[in-house]
Amino acid sequence: MSEESPRNYLTAVESRLATDGCKPEWQDWSGVRVLVGRRSDFKLRWAATNLHVFTIAAAVPEISVGTIDTFTSQALGFAKKNKGGLPVGMQTGVAVFPVLISERVDPAAVAWAEEKQRNQFACFARPVVVDTARHYVGLFRGKPVLGRIYASHLTGKGQRYFDHPA
């Protein structure tokens, strides 16, 4: 694949986010071009909770466990700060898909992303590692104990946004 592959993948994610009503926009995060999309979903079966779903994606030269771990922490912090509405935990939750895309990916980073959902109080992150050289998307697709009520919703969003060829 050419060096355009991560950019092409990001463009495709941007389109899917727009189609799903996420209003994607590009931001500069310390010199890195980052795609940010967000939507708010409400369901009575979630105990009448409003879930703010953020997708924060960037193409990077290479992905290691440290890279995706740090990006996940940054994305969670950004989402909590920018969600609006009631404070987190008061009928309000935050779910984040921190997405890194590269042609050079450490397999350990993929395993880290697939291992589990990362949880904080009323905040959930499902890191996504996209290896465009291998045409592989790694993310957690299970049902965690914490945040289980949102699991099928987040799995569906993950499939809709990321499970497409670059």
**pLDDT tens-digit profile, the chain (166 residues):** 344 589 999 999 999 999 999 999 999 999 999 999 998 875 655 555 778 899 999 999 999 999 999 999 999 999 988 876 655 554 667 889 999 999 999 999 999 999 988 876 668 899 999 999 999 999 988 776 666 666 777 888 888 899 865 4
Closest among 43, 58, 76, 67 to 151, alpha carbons compared = 43
At residue 119, the pLDDT reads: 77
pLDDT score, position 130: 96
Distances (CA, A) of 38 to 17, 29, 64, 79: 8, 17, 26, 9
pLDDT of residue 114: 94
pLDDT on residue 133: 92
